[in-house]
Amino acid sequence: MYAQLLPIIAPVAICALLGYGWARSGRPFDREFVTRVIMNFGAPCLILDGISGLEASADQFLVSLGAAVAVLASCAMAGAAVLAVSRQPLRSHLPPVVFGNVGNLGLPLCLFAFGREGLGLAVAFYLTGSLSQFILGPLFQGREPAWRTLLTTPIIYAAAAGLLVVGLQLQMPLWMKNTVGLLAGAAIPLMLLALGHAVGSFPVARLAAAWRIAALRLLLGFGTGWLLVQLFAFDGTLRGVVLIEASMPVAVFNYLLAARYDRHPEDVAGAIVISTLLAFLLLPALLLYALGGAHAVNGP
């Protein structure tokens, strides 16, 4: 068991721990700069590289997109109902319940568990989550116009370019392919370092609210992922990717939006820390279950 899991968990945990240690050391770390590098260069190239070099079939990629939308919609409806009944601030607490860390944590896990095929299918979750969060997040929390976000989000153009390459069966020039691959390779380590730094630097206040958000994110995420897998009889790599990505902890970007629009950022910060620590504790069990119906690759 440990021989199967160690090559998947160890690289992810070590990179995150490096970021955590950097935060605890008190040394400077420009989170905004790192986030901008990831969102403007690393993530778009990762999406373009993942889609254009897709080792899964195009049909499976579309199914993965549909599963990602279904997970978001299900978590949104169930989360809204629970928060309304418990009389919690919907605009503040619903986004972290809905948007899991499918990028910083989900992408590397799927890459090391299922190789390039898993990464390509996981990109569908990252693409769906990123676009939804960038467009719906500001609308829901701050009422900003969606068109501005659409025009200024590089991930959208990267996704369109990737789908164009696949749809028309085009070949990128070698210089472009190498450049995209180089920048894409930098994205995952930066994501993990940023995740570790966030866990090490975010304050954990208002424990009851933070625990509530963290528990809802993990329980609803895994529950909806499991339900989709059962209902549609997903198997192989697709099954594993859906289970892993649906079960991810609260995404770090939720804190940035909460702080920007003053939507209880201290609750969201605490939920990120608690849910991420819980996710790492539960990761061996999740991976064993996810790998149960798929062939583990343990490498890119």
Q: Which residues contact 93 (CB under 8 A, 6 or more apart)?
A: 83, 209, 212, 213, 264, 267, 268
pLDDT for the residue numbered 292:
86
Looking at the predicted structure, is the pLDDT value of residue 52 above 90? no
pLDDT for the residue numbered 65:
94
Could you tell me which residue, 121 or 299, shows the higher pLDDT?
A: 121
Domain 30-291 CATH assignment equals 3.40.50.740: no
Confidence of residue 150 (pLDDT cuts 50, 70, 90): low
57-88 in b/e form (b: 16+ CB < 10 A) is: eeebbebbbebbebbbebbbebbeebbeeeeb
Question: Is-contact 105 236, C-beta < 8 A?
Answer: no
Percentage with pLDDT > 70 across the chain: 92
Mean pLDDT across 282-288: 95
Confidence of residue 157 (pLDDT cuts 50, 70, 90): confident
> Distance between CA 74 and CA 223 in Å, rounded?
10
Looking at the predicted structure, is the pLDDT value of residue 295 above 60? no
For the segment 130-146, what is each residue's pLDDT rounded down to a tens digit?
888 877 776 766 665 55
> Distance between CA 174 and CA 135 in Å, rounded?
33
Q: Which residues contact 197 (CB under 8 A, 6 or more apart)?
A: 19, 20, 22, 23, 29, 31
Question: Is-contact 290 4, C-beta < 8 A?
Answer: no
For the segment 166-212, what is each residue's pLDDT rounded down to a tens digit?
777 788 899 999 999 999 999 999 999 999 999 999 888 788 999 99
Q: Which residues contact 242 (CB under 8 A, 6 or more apart)?
A: 64, 67, 71, 225, 228, 229, 234
> Distance between CA 30 and CA 188 in Å, rounded?
17
pLDDT for the residue numbered 134:
76
Mean pLDDT across 2-14: 88
Mean pLDDT across 50-70: 88
Looking at the predicted structure, is the pLDDT value of residue 296 above 60? no
Looking at the predicted structure, is the pLDDT value of residue 23 above 90? yes
Looking at every residue in the chain, the average pLDDT score rounds to 89
For the segment 96-138, what is each residue's pLDDT rounded down to a tens digit?
999 999 999 999 999 999 999 999 999 999 989 988 887 777 6
pLDDT for the residue numbered 146:
57
- Backbone φ and ψ for 250, nearest 5 degrees, come out as -60, 130
Half-sphere exposure of 300 (CA within 13 A, CB side): 9
Looking at the predicted structure, is the pLDDT value of residue 1 above 90? no
Could you count the other beta carbons within 10 Å of the beta carbon of residue 186?
Answer: 15
Looking at the predicted structure, is the pLDDT value of residue 57 above 90? no
Q: Which residues contact 276 (CB under 8 A, 6 or more apart)?
A: 101, 105, 195, 199, 249, 250
Question: Is-contact 243 67, C-beta < 8 A?
Answer: no
In 3D space, the residue among 50, 8, 38 whose CA is nearest the CA of residue 244 turns out to be 8
Looking at the predicted structure, is the pLDDT value of residue 251 above 90? yes
Q: Is 272 exposed, middle or buried (0-12, 13-18, 19+ CB in 10 A)?
A: buried
pLDDT for the residue numbered 209:
92
pLDDT for the residue numbered 182:
94
Looking at the predicted structure, is the pLDDT value of residue 50 above 60? yes
Mean pLDDT across 3-9: 86
- Backbone φ and ψ for 100, nearest 5 degrees, come out as -90, 170
Looking at the predicted structure, is the pLDDT value of residue 81 above 70? yes
For the segment 191-203, what is each residue's pLDDT rounded down to a tens digit?
999 999 999 998 8
Q: Is 215 exposed, middle or buried (0-12, 13-18, 19+ CB in 10 A)?
A: middle
Mean pLDDT across 39-63: 87
> Distance between CA 295 and CA 115 in Å, rounded?
10
Confidence of residue 281 (pLDDT cuts 50, 70, 90): very high
Mean pLDDT across 28-47: 89
